[in-house]
Structures are given as C-alpha cells and as structure tokens.
DNA sequence: CCTTTGCGTATTGCATACAATAATCACAAC
DNA sequence: GTTGTGATTATTGTATGCAATACGCAAAGG
C-alpha cells in the first residue's frame, strides 16, 4: 500500500523514455521475483534514484494488472497523493504514463478511472498480440542466439514443473517469460515494445484466466510444437502455431469475461 | 510558431485517453486540410476548448514530423513556455505525451530532445508497420464495408492525379490516407491505434523520402494490385502485396537516411 | 409526483515558487 | 600544456495555491 514496496526493485537504470521496456521489466521483476527469468539487470552499482513518477506509475500498474485496483474504479488525485506521501504533481505525471499505456482512461475534467476494456476490445488486442508474436517468432528463427533458445526451453520446463505442482502462479510467470522471450529473441526493439505494451494491457485478464480457470489443462503439446519449430528455424510454421496457441488463450479469456460481466460495457 | 494555428483545427472532441487516435486525426487534419480524407469530424457544435496539453502536444508533434524541429534538438521548457504563452506545467504534460509516442527522448534530469531513430530502428519499425498493415488488410477483407473500399479507391485516384501534376505534397497525403484507411477498414481499434502510432513515428522520414527523392516513380501498379486483392477479398494475397510494397518504401527511406547521416547515431 | 433550475461542494487544470541535480567554465596543480 | 577539482549557472523535478469546471442535492414550479 506504500510506495516503498515498489522502491525495493533492483531498479534497472531508467532508460530514457523506455516506458514499455520499463513496464515489461516491472512485470518480470514483480511476477517472477524468485525465478531467474530473463537477462540479468544491468550492472547498476549506482543506487539509481529512479524518478518518482515512474515509481508511482509502477506501483499503480502493479495494482491494476493484479486486479487490486478494479476496472472502472476512480482514481482521485488528492487522496492518493496523501496516501503515497507525494505531491499531486508527480502523481499526475504517473497517471499520464498509465494513460499512455491505456491502463487508465482519462476524461477531461472528470479524472481518471481504471481501464475496463470490453470483450470486443480484448479480442482485438489479442488478435494484434498474436500477430506481433508471430512476426517476432519469424524474426527469431533468423536471428535468435542459441542462448535465447535455451532460455525459452527452460521456461517450458519451468511451466511443466509448475503445472505438475499445481502452482498456478509460477505457471503463469513461466508462461509470460516463454512468450516474452520469444519476441525478445527477434531483436526488434519496436516489436518488443509494442508486444510488451499489449502484454501489459492483457496481463490482468490473462492472469485471472489462469488463476480462476476451472479445468486447468496445460497445453504442453502446443508449446512443444512451438519449440520444435523454433529449433528447426521454421518461421512460418512457428507463426501459425503461435496464432493457434493464442486463440486458445482467447477462449479462456472469453469464458472468464462472459461469466463475470453481467453489467453493460463501460 | 504560435499555438493558435493549432487551435484552428475542427477540434474533434477529446476522446478521453485516445492519444493515438488524436494523433492520427491531427495528421489527417493537418496534412490533408484540403482534400476530403476520411470520416467527417463529429458534430461538435461545442467549441470544445480542447485541453491545453493536447494542443501543445499537437503543435510540437506537427513541428517534429514536418522536420521543423530537427531530430536531436533539445527542447527547453522555460523558453518554450514563454514562447507559447503557457505555463511549464501543461508544457511538461505535452512533452510526456510526446514521450509516450516516442517522438521525443526524455532523460531523467537532462530534459527532452527530439527523437532521432537510427536507421536500424527505422527498419525495425517499418517491419512491424508492414506486418500490422498486412493484418489489417486481412481483417479488412472480411469486414470492410463497400463505402470503405470505395474511399480507398478514391485515394488511389487522388494519388495518380497528384503524381501527374507532380504535386508531391498531395501525393504524400493521398498515400497516407490510402494506407491508413486500409487499416481503418479492419475495424480493430487496437490495431488502428498501434498502426497509427508507428505511422506517426515514421511520418517524418516518409515525408522527407517522398519530398526529396530524386527519381520519383509512382508505384501505381503495386497499388492497383493491392486494390484488386482487396476487391477480391483475398486477405493473404493482400498482406503479401502490402509487405512487398512497404519494402519499397523502406528502400526510399534507407537511401535518404544513408545520404544524410554522416554523423554517428545519437 | 415528476421535472427543472439554482447553488454548494468537490475535483481537476493551470500557474508559480522553491529545491535538487547536472552541465559548464574557470582556476590551480601537476 | 593538460588534467583534475571547485564553484557557478542553468535546467529540470517537486510542492502548493488559485481558478475553472463538473457533479450532486435540494427546492421550487408545473
């Protein structure tokens, strides 16, 4: 509830305007605070004071994507600034960052509310998401280093182990890392950024879909096929597999949303 | 040079957090202030005072994508706030918006500079851009209304007419409208948004590539093929054609950048 | 009883003042 | 002559105060 808990991160040096990279790093750091996920944080012998608006944005983003701040909830500046012990100015900056990420909707004189995407918007986002991931996979087949591929294999093993332990949280983390690292292997900064953006916007529903799904069946065979295509450097096949795979994720999300949405869309 | 020239826009009612939609609208409104491009602006009998940060952001964005503010140029808050007759607070908000669009790079305590993407970054962006456009084309083949297709045909005619008049500016505008409307026909909000974002970041180089290219040859045959595929509702073919087409745009951009970049990348 | 209009309150938008940090330049030591 | 260190200056980050706008409620009129 305090901003300090966010401050405890390894504090990867703020990379200029790298909002999505920062956000992706936030997910990696917070969701997988135990398992080694991706590249190690940069050297950082500096304490890296990490600008206040980014801290606040990271804090609120965490609350939103983990469903602590529910969709549709209003965010008032004055109470929050008092609670976080900061002034309204950096808080406003943080809200602007989250607005750019489309995690909050901001009406002119009516304040900010947590974004509540309709089921159609979620479907559209997932469509683009899978397309970007397919593109990334194609590029990864051309440019991925063996170390990257090995890391992706490791994520698959982590997923399997987590599934057998019925550890949904670790499963979710490994799944995230699996997909993010496939795109990261493309070495295309713009692609990684856009994919990361969508991943954040979809994070909450995907998280809830995994955590709440009744019959939780691991699509290990699909992931195995994906890995095989990656090993064979077959980009076209890999793209098709990923799109098919994500359509499965869509079904889970749609089921969740259909069940928990008696109200009219925002 | 004054903010008033931006204020003169039709002032489409500020749609909440719709930064990219707003930006795309800005391009449409500014680049094609004469030709009828897309859907008419909303009713808006209200003057729509249009928040100050958005006005400033639109102003600066216009300066950036039309190469008035050169890449690498520093943007100081105090002089600009004095020049634009506004306080530093809304100006800072505007810079945050542009930072989210990656039109400016913002270092922690070192201020803002106009983004200067390297040639590799431009290549990466164009790769994603074409991929998104291919996806949009595929969706458009399923969902495009006859009116949308007719409008795209009209843009093609406008391009041809502009080319015969050797009117590069109108040519560029029609070309923009052509590509944007293909994606708009997909009816996928997330896709339109992301494509629009990339379009803005690429706007400057594409603009300069058209305006400065020595042997300016219109790729009418490619556009005709694209239109034919759209009429035939052949999404796969349309996607391939668009990717090929954009690779041509890439060659023009690469030529321009290679010529005008003796300095080291940022 | 419903509708409408006016006022009170609350919240956001903008401006300005202050503090902290980084870049610059001069000066001295090597 | 060059390099390191110091202070100075300029620019950004943060805090707070004021003004404008929108929401909610109450009261009056139909």
Three-state secondary structure call for residue B202: helix
User: With 70 as the cut, is the pLDDT of residue A58 above it?
Assistant: yes
Indicate the residue of A89, A108, A194 with minimum beta-carbon distance to B14. Answer: A108
Q: Which residues of A touch B92 (CB under 8 A)?
A: 93
Give the residue on B whose Cα is nearest the Cα of A50.
B108
In sequence order, the 6+-apart residues with CB closer than 8 A to the CB of B234 are: B141
Strand D close to A78 by CB, under 7 A? no
pLDDT in tens, A232-262: 999 889 899 999 988 888 888 888 777 776 5
Count Cβ–Cβ pairs < 8 Å, chain A vs chain B: 92
User: If you average pLDDT over every residue of chain A, what do you get?
Assistant: 81
CA-based angle A131:A132:A133, to the nearest 5?
90
Nearest to A188 by CA among B130, B115, B23: B130
How far apart (Å, rounded) are the C-alpha atoms in residues A255 and A213?
A: 9
Q: How far is the CA of B212 from the C1' of D19 (A)?
A: 49
Nearest to B194 by CA among A191, A30, A108, A90: A191
User: What count of other Cβ atoms lies within 10 Å of the Cβ of residue B180?
Assistant: 23
Compute φ and ψ for A50, nearest 5 degrees.
55, 100
How far apart (Å, rounded) are the C-alpha atoms in residues B89 and B91?
A: 5
Q: How far is the CA of B212 from the C1' of C1 (A)?
A: 73
Q: How far is A26 from chain B (nearest CA, A)?
A: 17
**Residue-wise DSSP of B194-222:** HHHHHHHHHHHHHHHHHHH-SS----HHH
Q: Which residues of A touch B102 (CB under 8 A)?
A: 17
Nucleotides of C under 7 A from a protein CB: 11-17, 21-23
Q: Is B25 exposed, middle or buried (0-12, 13-18, 19+ CB in 10 A)?
A: buried
Q: Is B145 exposed, middle or buried (0-12, 13-18, 19+ CB in 10 A)?
A: exposed
pLDDT in tens, A90-119: 999 999 999 999 999 988 888 899 999 999
Q: Is B207:B107 a contact under the CB 8 Å cutoff?
A: no
pLDDT at B104: 95
How far apart (Å, rounded) are the C-alpha atoms in residues B181 and B199?
A: 12
- DSSP assigned state of B264: P
| Residue in the structure block whose two tokens are 């509540």 | A116
* Nearest nt (C1') from B88 Cα: C15
pLDDT of chain B, 266 residues: tens digit per residue: 333 333 333 333 343 334 455 555 555 555 544 444 444 444 444 455 678 899 999 999 999 999 999 999 999 999 999 999 999 999 999 999 999 999 999 888 888 999 999 999 999 999 999 999 999 999 999 999 999 999 999 999 999 999 999 999 999 999 999 999 999 999 999 999 999 999 999 999 999 888 887 777 777 788 999 999 999 999 889 899 999 998 888 888 888 777 776 544 44
Interface test with B, best of A12, A72, A115, A128 (most B CBs within 10 A): A128
Strand D close to B49 by CB, under 7 A? yes
Q: How far is the CA of A120 from the C1' of D3 (A)?
A: 65
């Amino acid at each position: 509830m305090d901003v300090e808990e966010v401050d405890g991160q390894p504090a990867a040096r703020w990379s200029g305007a790298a909002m999505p990279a920062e956000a992706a790093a936030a997910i990696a750091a917070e969701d997988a605070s135990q398992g080694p996920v991706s590249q190690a944080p940069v050297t950082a012998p500096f304490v890296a004071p990490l600008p206040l608006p980014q801290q606040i944005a990271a804090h609120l983003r965490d609350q939103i994507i983990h469903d602590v701040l529910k969709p549709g909830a209003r965010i008032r500046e004055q109470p929050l600034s008092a609670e976080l012990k900061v002034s309204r100015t950096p808080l406003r900056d943080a809200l602007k960052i989250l607005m750019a990420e489309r995690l909050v909707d901001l009406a002119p004189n009516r304040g900010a509310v947590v974004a509540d995407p309709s089921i159609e918007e979620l479907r559209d986002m997932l469509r683009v998401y899978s397309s970007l991931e397919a593109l990334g996979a194609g590029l990864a087949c051309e440019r991925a280093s063996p170390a990257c591929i090995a890391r992706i294999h490791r994520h698959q093993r982590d997923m399997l182990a987590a599934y057998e332990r019925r550890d949904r949280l670790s499963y979710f983390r490994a799944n995230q890392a699996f997909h993010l690292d496939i795109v990261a292997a493309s070495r295309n900064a713009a692609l990684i950024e856009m994919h990361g953006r969508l991943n954040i916007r979809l994070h909450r529903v995907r998280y809830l879909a995994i955590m709440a799904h009744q019959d939780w069946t691991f699509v290990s065979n699909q992931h195995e096929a994906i890995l095989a295509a990656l090993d064979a450097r077959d980009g076209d096949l890999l793209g098709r597999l990923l799109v098919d795979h994500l359509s499965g994720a869509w079904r889970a999300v749609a089921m969740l949303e259909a069940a928990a949405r008696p109200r009219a869309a925002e």
